[in-house]
Amino acid sequence: MANLALVYGMRLIPAEELGSVEEATFHFKDGREGRISMHLIQGSKEQIEKQFRASVAAFFELYPEI
């Protein structure tokens, strides 16, 4: 299995203050560029935690080989 890096970011802000969410960009050592889709979860602390856990589990289901 390859040595992997999981790239993510999180920040809690008041939902009514959110204007937009955009993609993030990263760079490979060889000069190539990649994009990371940002995801938005809104709700109470408990709702956010539940959805976040489900999203992480679903993400790893996309890669059954790891």
The answer to whether position 31 is within a domain reads no
Round to whole Å and give the CA distance between 8 and 38: 9
In whole angstroms, what is the distance from residue 10 CA to residue 40 CA?
10
Structural domain count, the chain: 1
- pLDDT tens for the chain, residues 1 to 66: 678 888 888 889 999 999 998 889 999 999 999 999 888 999 999 999 999 999 999 988 988 887
Residue 14 lies in a domain: no
- Please indicate, yes or no, if residue 58 is contained in any of the structural domains: yes
Instruction: Domain of residue 48: give its range.
Output: 42-66
Q: What is the 3-state composition of the chain as percent helix, strand, coil, each rounded to the nearest 5? A: 30, 10, 60
Query: How far is CA 45 from its chain centroid?
Result: 17
Looking at the domain assignment, is residue 47 inside a domain? yes
Residue 57 lies in a domain: yes
Which pLDDT score, from 0 to 100, does residue 27 have?
Answer: 95
pTM of the model: 0.73
